[in-house]
Amino acid sequence: MRVLPNPRVRNLGILAHVDAGKTTVTERILFLTGAVHKRGEVHDGTTVTDFDPQERERGITISAAAVSCAWDGHRLALIDTPGHVDFSDEVERALRVLDGAVAVFDAVAGVEPQSETVWRQADRHGVPRIAFVNKMDRAGADLDAAVASIRSRLGAVALPVQLPIGREDGFRGVVDLVRMRAYVWDGGGREETDVPARLRDEAVRRRRALEEAVAELHPEALEEFCADGSLSDGTLARALRALTLAGAAVVVLCGSAYRDRGIEPLLDAVVAYLPAPTDRPPVGGGERAADPHAPLVALAFKVNAAPTGRMTYVRVYAGHLTKGTTVLDTATGRTERISRVLRVQADRTAEVSLAVAGDIVAVVGPKTVRAGATLCVPDVPVVLEPPVPAAPVVSMAVEARRSTDTGRLAAGLARLAEEDPSLVVRTDPETGQTVLSGLGELHLEVAVERLRRDRDLEVTVGRPQVAYRETVVKGVTGLLHRHVKQDGGAGQFAHVVLDVQPLDGDAGEEGFVFASTVTGGRVPQEYVRAVEAGCRDALAEGPLGGHQVTGVRVTLTDGATHPKDSSELAFRTAGRAALREALRASAMTLLEPVAEVTVTVPAESVGTVLGDLAARRGRVTDSQVRGGTSVVTATVPLAELFGYATRLRGRTQGRGTFATRPAGYEPAPA
């Protein structure tokens, strides 16, 4: 029997800043679709997706959790992602395999720092989104202000398709501007009615504004608008879907997830506007479409290496997976056998006989597959671009309290790094200590707590340390290095001349540019590549303190070879030694990681908070007052933020909150 691609599938993520309500949105979706029979609450620790004990204790999402449900004849695969900046790498891996997303915003705060971070991540992966403005029942809730912040801070073309009925505590429903119908929630389920008379003129005005905005962006809509002076409901809906799929606009809805208001229209919008797997571009160089009968291509995006068994979460892009399938891991070149295929419902699983293109499932059997690996049929190999782990910015020393537990600690750390590629474990060459590095203080706290709980280990940790960088302030030109080695047999000869200068402007993630101006074939191209590789080796340890070097432009200006003794190895060695020598001769400076901190406090506490930020070498960049609370934005060195949560709570009687996001590196004080 031939299996056809299924257009009635939606693979979507729920994205938001911490505390915007995305886990509550997920819980209400599961309840309304019948996937669960009792509402889960974050504050009660009864949610389906936040099933880890630490998630329930802390009231935050730490790991992305996958769940499935059905709505209007469609199967929805949801991934509830973390909202805290320390776990943004978990969001990155989830976005890599999703077809669409719902971005949740707080109706009072609008776009918050981590909202912006996850939005940019979705931009990088080309994931179409719709927006849901949550907490419309809160004091100070304002849909128009939230939409304005989406437009100004995210640069998105936001198209609100609803008009709220009631304000703040009186919020009770919405007007659907596409169908011009009202939905009201009064103690029971959704009730569909005519648009209330008092809102009719406003609804007509907003519908007209929506039609005009869509007509400006969509050719078919423009043609109908010019001919008829308006858009039909069908044309408007089709145009909104096309604009969403193209990433040209973002449909905006609103509601209150906690009060069960607005979730059904959100589900309708997911089905109407977000893409099916068949709507997404083919993978593997454009050759593998979402066809169940094409050769298998799947991407592993998450590993759960539990003591009870190893599960690998995969997104199937083409072909199909069954029990007994043999797959090639293109990252290692090894073949693995799939022993079970599982549909995942948070912490529960159910075995299925078949997973086809478009499915997100977990598989049991592969023993060495890591997150980011491509799985395919052995005779038709293909490699998909993996999600790239973020570079760690905070480190701490970790050691077992009892020497007999050293081996168990090493095994536990290896498992943590296997499950979370943004955690890096290394041994300090000077002290011999085991160092755990991650994306923030909370990230490391959670990892250490998992060691204590999951593996029953007693561990001691050192004070967190930030990851410094070194950069060139004033470089050198014409540095000559000659590498000659002759100890019997074939020798080594390489002669290179380098210019080293500071790198101006945006150099991308790695902060290093290499160029060659050698002419006349004095250094063959393969040796030029070897010199570049040697320079990259040298960037690992700078002359100031052995930190990674960034912000450097290196130019190979001259060189010489020997007809017998020159080799790629010789030129790589020469490049490494030459750049190390050049960095020692250059004027260097230390860089420290900084973060953008957004602090929300009662107005009477703002003076205390500003003084504390100044004492932490913070630089205030913005300050606003929103309904009795002050919102202060500042750039603060990451090293000064350790323990800030406790200090802020103490200075504001527990009423202050803050959020951070990485803001790059800046020169450290002498």
Say if residues 513 and 628 touch (Cβ distance below 8 Å). no
The pLDDT score that the predictor gives to residue 45 is 62
Question: 254 and 220, same structural domain?
Answer: yes
Categorize the per-residue pLDDT at 508 as very low, low, confident or very high, splitting at 50, 70 and 90: very low
Q: Is 328 found in the same domain as 271?
A: no
* Arithmetic mean of pLDDT, 624-646: 84
Give the pair of three-digit tokens for residue 214: 């869509």
The enclosing domain of 517 has a CATH number of: 3.30.230.10
Between 430 and 105, residue with greater pLDDT: 105
Closest CA relative to residue 540, chosen from 550, 532, 530: 550
CB 149 within 8 A of CB 121: no
User: What is the β-pairing status of strands 309-318 and 297-306?
Assistant: antiparallel
Identify whether 286 is part of a domain.
no
Task: List, for residues 543-581, the tens digit of each pLDDT value.
Answer: 998 899 999 999 999 999 998 889 999 999 999 999 999
Question: 530 lies in which domain range?
Answer: 470-585
Residue 316 lies in a domain: yes
Which CATH number do you get for residue 634? 3.30.70.240
Are residues 225 and 363 located together in one domain of the fold?
Answer: no
Q: Enter the pTM of the model.
A: 0.79
Q: Verify that 144 and 244 share a domain, yes or no.
A: yes
Q: For 57-106, write each residue's pLDDT tens digit.
A: 777 777 888 888 999 999 999 988 887 778 888 889 899 999 999 999 99
Give mean pLDDT, residues 398-424: 89
Same domain, 354 and 370: yes
- The pLDDT of 324-353, averaged and rounded, is 90
Measured between alpha carbons, how far is 339 from 239 in angstroms, rounded to an integer?
Answer: 44
Domain match, 146 and 26 both: yes
Q: What is the CATH number of the domain that holds 82?
A: 3.40.50.300
- Shared domain check, 474 and 461: no
Same domain, 144 and 86: yes
Q: Are residues 122 and 240 in the same domain?
A: yes
Tally helices (H) and strands (E) across the chain: 15, 36
DSSP labels, 515-542 = EE---TTSS-HHHHHHHHHHHHHHTTS-
Domain identity same for 94 and 164: yes
Query: Which pLDDT score is estimated for 175?
Result: 96
Picking from 91, 120, 128, 122, the residue whose alpha carbon sits closest to that of residue 274 is 128
Residue with tokens 């912000």: 551
Who has greater pLDDT, 367 or 308?
367
CATH code of residue 369: 2.40.30.10
Question: Quick one: pLDDT band at residue 249, thresholds 50, 70, 90?
Answer: very high
pLDDT for the residue 374: 94
- Say whether pLDDT at 497 is over 70: yes
Which pLDDT value is given to residue 51? 66
Among the candidates 585, 612, 641, a domain finishes at 585
Q: Is residue 282 part of a domain?
A: no
Residues 475, 582 contacting (CB under 8 angstroms): yes
Strand 552-560 and strand 512-516: the pairing is: parallel
Q: Average pLDDT of the chain?
A: 88
**Structural domain contains residue 349:** yes
Please indicate, yes or no, if residue 284 is contained in any of the structural domains: no
Specify if 388 maps to a domain: no
- Would residue 437 count as lying in a domain? yes
Based on the fold, state whether residues 49 and 146 are members of the same structural domain: yes
Residue 137 binned pLDDT confidence (cut-offs 50, 70, 90): very high
Digit-coded pLDDT (tens) for 466-491:
889 999 999 999 999 999 987 766 78
| Statement to judge: residues 138 and 208 lie in one domain | yes
Nearest Cα to Cα of residue 199 among 171, 166, 232: 166
Tell which of 276, 311, 337 closes a domain: 276
Please check whether residue 291 lies inside any domain of the structure.
Answer: no
Report the 10 Å Cβ neighbour count for 302. Answer: 25
Q: Sorting pLDDT into bands at 50, 70 and 90, what band is 1?
A: very low
Could you give the number of structural domains in the chain? 5
